[in-house]
Chains A and B, each alone.
Chain A
C-alpha cells in the first residue's frame, strides 16, 4: 500500500502553512500600499483606517467630521455656502442623485482621492424586486458608486446584512448588485466574524455592541436608505438604516429611539442620500404589494443624518420630532431636526 509517510505529511503541512503565511504577508503589503497612498494623496491623517479602528473617537473629531460647517475646509464652488439639505425631484434616479450632490458641493466634498468608501443601502430582504420599494433603488446606488469613483475613491464597496434570506440572493434580487458592478463597485457579503464588539462612548442606552469592522474602518460611509413604513419606528430612514451594520439586532428593539441615536453617535454617516423615488407606505419593511408603493421621484441628500431623516419624514406628513430616533438624535447633537431654520435647496430636475 502506498502510504504518505509522516515526513511527507509534515512537509506538506509546512508547505501549506508557509503558503498561508506568505499570502497573508502579501495581503498585508497591499494594505500598507493603500494606507501610504492615502497618506500621500489625501493627507487626511485624521481619518486613517487604523486610527478609527483602534482608538475610540474623541469627542472633538466626530462632529467636525460630519456636521456641515460653512467654515470647513472644502474649496468653495459656485454656491459659497452649501445647503444643509439638497432635494431633487421629478427626474430619473441617477440625474436626481447627481443634481442633489452637485448642490451640496459635489461628491469631492465627501470623498477624497484614495478614500475607501462604503455605501450602505437598505437591502433588508431578498423577496422582491426594487419596484416593491422594500430595497433601495439600484440606480441611486449605482450613481453614488460612479460619483465616488469619479471623486477618486480607491475602492467602493456596497453591503447590507439582510434579515430575510441570504445576502447573495438579496443582492441579486434587489437589482443593486447589477448596477453596482456596472458602475465599478464591489458587493461585499458581510461575514459574522467582522462584527467586533465596539464601545459606544456617547451612548446613553446602548453602551456597546458588535459593529461591522469594515464600516468603522472605512474613510467614508454613505448611508442610502429607502423611505418606507415600519411597524415600530413608524418610518425607517437613514438613522434606522444603520441597524444593518450591527450583529445583535433584537437588543435594539427596546428603547429603540435612544439606541438608534446611540448607534449613530458611533457610526457616523458622512453623507446620507434618502431614496424616495418609490416610497413604501404600508406593510413595511418587507413590503410585497405594489399598491402600498407611491412613486415620489425624490432624492434627499445631506451630510446630516438627522436633517435628512427629518425632511424625509415630511414626505409622509410626519412631524420629524414625532420619530423617536430623530428626536433622540437631535437631543444628542448628532444633527438638526429644526427644518425651518435649515437651508434647504430644492431642485426640480424634470
Chain B
C-alpha cells in the first residue's frame, strides 16, 4: 500500500476531473449567491463596508464576462473601470484555454449536469458546420455594438440565467413554497416548523409579498429549450450557439495550454466519446482536437487507456477548422447587423415611443439602449417587482430591457436598488434623495372607470398611497345629483401633474380588477 501510494503521482487524471467538478459547483454557488444578494438591495446603505462588498458581489459575474464588457464599451463609447475585470477571463483563456466554459460558466455547468442525451445513442449529431453559428452571432453582436446596438446581448449566457431566474424560476418557486406553506400551516403541530422555514426563506431568498411577472411561460420555455437542446447534442448551446463561447473559443486558439495527443495514441476513439463538446475528432491513425471547441474539462484525460492525453504549455496557433469563422461568417455577420440596424431604425418604435415604456429612474435623459446589457439584474433587485423585461413596449431594439409595469409592482419611494446593482451604470447609481426627484412617468385617471368618478363611490386609495410629501393626487369634494334629484358629496381624485413622479403605486393599488382606473404613462415632456 505504502509503496503504491509513493508511486502514484499526486494529481492523477481522475483528480483533475474531480477538481473541475468541485470548481463548477463552487462557481455556480458563487453565481447563485451573487444573484440572491441582488434582493438585499434596500439594505445596501445600512453598513458601508458590507454594502460595498455586496455591490461588488452582484456586479462580479457580468464584469467577468468579456462579451458583455467589450460590446458595452463599443456601443456606449465609454470604458468603465469595472470592465477591466473581464481581462481576468481573457487572460485566463489565453493561458489555460476555454476554462470559463468548462469550469466556471454557470449555464455551462447546468448543461453539464443535465446529460439528457442517452450515452451511446446512435442518433446522429448535428453537422459540424453548425458550430460556425456561434461565430456568426458573435460577429453580429460586435459589429452591431459598433453601431451602438446591444440587442443581441440577450443571448449572453449570464443574461439568460438572470432573466430566467428572476422572471420564471424564482417566482414559480415562491408560488410553490407559498402553496405548501399555506397547506401545511393548517396542520396545528406543523405551524411552528412552517414559520421557521418561512423566516429562513423570506425575505432573503423569496419575497415577503408575492411578485408576479408577465410571460413567465415564455422565459421558462426559452430556458427549457436551451436545456432541451442537450438531447440533440451534449452542451448543444455551448457547441453551436453561445456567442461568448465563440469569443473565448477564438482566444483559445492561441492559448498557452492546449489539449495534446501523443504518438502512443491507438486511435480507439474513447476520448472522442466522452468529450462533451465534441472537440476531439478521429484522423487517420489517431485523433486530433480543436482547442477552440475544447472547454478544458479534462474528461478525456482519465478516459485514455494508453495515457496519450496531456495538456502541455507551449506557444502555438491551432489549425483553422472548416467551421471556424472566415470571410463567409464575417460577411454574414456584417450583413445581419447592418440589416438589423436598418430595420430597427426604420421601425415605428424609433419614431413614436410606446406610451407605457416607463423606464427605471434616471434613464430617461440618456441613450439607455446603448448602455443596457439586457442582463436583467435590476429585475431581481427590484424588491417590489416593478421592473420587468420589456417585450412589446420597447420594440426589437429594446427587447428585454427593463421596463416598469406599475400594475404588477410599484417603484418604492425608499428604494434605489436598481441603480445600485446595475453592473455598467446604465441605470445611474443615484442617492435616495436624487432618485426621489426622478420623473419616470405621469399618472392619468380614467374617469370612465374610476370608482369615485364613474360610480360616485367612496374610494381614495390612489391619494392615500401617493408617497410624494405634498401628495401628487388631491381630492376634490363634488356634489353630485342622483336619479331622483338627491344630492351627495363625493371625493374625486385629481393628479397634480407637476408633483407626480410616476412611481406607479396608485396604479398598483387601484382596487379595480384588471386594468387600473389610474395609469402611468411616459411623460410628454
Spot the interface stretch: B30-38, B348-356, B454-462: B454-462
A8 interface contact, C-beta 8 A: no
Q: How far is the CA of A207 from the CA of B463 in the complex (A)?
A: 27
- Looking at B194, B198, B413, which has the most chain A CB atoms within 10 Å of its CB? B413
Question: Does B42 contact A288, Cβ atoms closer than 8 Å?
Answer: no
Contact code string B431-458 (vs A, CB < 8 Å = 1, else 0): 0000000000000000000010000011
**At the interface, yes or no: A281 with Cβ under 8 Å from chain B?**
no
Are A126's CB and B466's CB within 8 A? Answer: no
Residue in B208, B465, B470 whose beta carbon sits within 8 Å of that of A164 in the complex: B465
CB pair A231 B509 closer than 8 Å: no
A230 CA to B93 CA in the complex, in Å?
Answer: 62
Bound together, the chains give a CA A169 to CA B39 distance in angstroms of 12
The reply to whether B181 and A191 form a contact with Cβ atoms under 8 Å apart is yes
Cross-chain contact A23 with B414 (CB below 8 angstroms): no
Least Cβ–Cβ distance between B206 and chain A, in angstroms: 10
Would you give 11 A-B contacts (Cβ < 8 Å), ordered by A?
Answer: A20-B193, A31-B189, A164-B505, A166-B207, A169-B383, A189-B203, A192-B208, A193-B182, A231-B463, A250-B509, A253-B460
A127 within 8 A of B: yes
Q: Are B412 and A163 in contact (CB under 8 A)?
A: no
- Using an 8 Å CB-CB cutoff, how does the interface string of B180-194 with A read, 1 for contact, 0 for none? 011001001111111
Contact between B208 and A167, CB atoms less than 8 A apart: yes
Q: How far is the CA of A125 from the CA of B464 in the complex (A)?
A: 11
Complex: A288 Cα to B189 Cα, angstroms: 44
> Judging by beta carbons under 8 Å apart, are B413 and A24 in contact?
no
Which residues of A line the B interface, CB within 8 A? 2, 20, 23-25, 27-28, 30-31, 50, 125-127, 163-169, 172-173, 189-194, 196, 213, 230-232, 250-251, 253-256, 283, 285-289
A164 near B467: Cβ-Cβ < 8 Å: yes
Contact A28 B192 (CB under 8 A): yes
**Do the beta carbons of A231 and B192 come within 8 Å of each other?**
no
- CA separation between A219 and B476, bound complex, in Å? 44
Confirm or deny: B415 has a beta carbon within 8 angstroms of a beta carbon on chain A.
yes
Find chain B residues with CB under 8 A from A253 CB.
458-461, 511
Chain A residues near B383 (CB, 8 Å)? 165-166, 169
Q: Are B203 and A193 in contact (CB under 8 A)?
A: no
Please, how many angstroms separate the alpha-carbon atoms of A211 and B217 in the complex? 32
Interface presence of B346 (CB below 8 A): no
Report whether A283 and B461 are in contact in the complex, using a CB–CB cutoff of 8 Å.
no
The residues of A that contact B468 with a CB separation of less than 8 Å are: 288
| Shortest 9 CB-CB contacts between residues of A and residues of B | A288-B469, A250-B511, A24-B193, A27-B192, A193-B181, A28-B189, A232-B460, A27-B193, A193-B182
List residues of chain B with CB within 8 A of the CB of A127: 413-414, 467
A171 CB to nearest B CB, Å? 11
CB distance from B152 to the nearest CB of A (A): 34
Would you call B459 and A125 a contact (CB within 8 A)? no
Contact, CB under 8 Å: A191 / B198: yes
The verdict on A23 contacting B461 (CB below 8 Å), with A126-B412, A250-B511 known, is no
Residue of B nearest to A286 (CB): B467
Contact partner, A286, options B181, B202, B210, B465, Cβ 8 Å: B465
The reply to whether A285 and B182 form a contact with Cβ atoms under 8 Å apart is no
- A23-B196, A253-B458 are contacts. A163–B181 as well, Cβ < 8 Å? no
- Measured between beta carbons, the chain A residues less than 8 angstroms from B195 are 27, 191, 194
Task: Say whether B256 faces chain A, with CB atoms less than 8 Å apart.
Answer: no
Question: How far does the alpha carbon of A93 sit from the alpha carbon of B154 in the complex, in Å?
Answer: 56
Contact with A27, one of B43, B196, B509 (Cβ below 8 angstroms): B196
Indicate if the CB atoms of B465 and A2 lie closer than 8 Å. no
Query: Is the C-beta of B307 less than 8 angstroms from some C-beta in chain A?
Result: no
Q: How far is the CB of B170 from chain A (nearest CB, A)?
A: 15
- Flag if A231 contacts B185 (CB, 8 Å): no
CA distance A283 to B195 in the complex (A): 37
Q: Are A28 and B202 in contact (CB under 8 A)?
A: no
Distance to closest chain A CB from B306 (angstroms)? 20
Taking a contact as CB atoms under 8 Å apart, the answer to whether B413 and A165 are in contact is yes
B469–A24 CB distance below 8 A: no
8 Å CB contact of A163 from B198, B460, B465: B465
